[in-house]
Amino acid sequence: MSNEKNKGSYHERWWVNLFNSWGWSAKRQPLSGALKDYPSDIDLSVKIFGDGNYITSIQLLCESKYRHNGFALISKYLGKKNNNYDNDLLLLKQKNGEAFMCFNVKNTKVLHLVRFQTEENEN
């Protein structure tokens, strides 16, 4: 296996482990998205609850990207400085196209906002 393939697999496993630690169901796709029936790197299933009751599950397909030197624009705006995050969300919008929202998975304020952490997980 090539060095680049090893690095990609390592980071895909990192994401799968993180999502599973949040109580989500995540698994790597066979051949990392190279097969037509498995178009992404990671298959993610998230159970949605309301008022403590199970409502439904959402299936998400995830593409994992790794850069040795990071992602300059995203790191510039969402990185930690002096033990604080200058920005919590990075909002990216094309004039007449797609819009994206990015956040740092280590920013606990954002994790609370999007409900990745519950009172039960914090103890």
Q: Are residues 44 and 71 in the same domain?
A: no
What per-residue confidence (pLDDT) applies to 123?
A: 39
Domain range spanning residue 39?
1-66
Domain boundary among 25, 44, 66: 66
What per-residue confidence (pLDDT) applies to 115?
A: 64
Q: Are residues 52 and 93 in the same domain?
A: no
Q: Is 123 inside any structural domain? A: no
Q: Is 13 inside any structural domain? A: yes
- All residue ranges of the chain with pLDDT < 50 are 117-123
What per-residue confidence (pLDDT) applies to 14?
A: 93
Q: Are residues 96 and 74 in the same domain?
A: yes
Measured distance CA(13)–CA(15) in Å, rounded: 5
Measured distance CA(60)–CA(47) in Å, rounded: 11
Q: Are residues 13 and 41 in the same domain?
A: yes
Domain boundary among 33, 50, 66: 66
Q: Are residues 5 and 58 in the same domain?
A: yes
What per-residue confidence (pLDDT) applies to 98?
A: 92
Q: Is 87 inside any structural domain? A: yes
**Average pLDDT of the chain, as a whole number:** 81
pLDDT in tens, 48-82: 877 778 888 889 999 988 888 778 888 888 887 77
Beta bridge partners of 101: 91
pTM: 0.74
Q: Is 81 inside any structural domain? A: yes
Q: Is 122 inside any structural domain? A: no
Distance set, CA 25 to CA 41, 58, 98, 109, 116 (Å): 14, 10, 27, 23, 13
Q: Are residues 4 and 45 in the same domain?
A: yes
Q: What is the percentage of the chain residues whose pLDDT exceeds 90?
A: 20
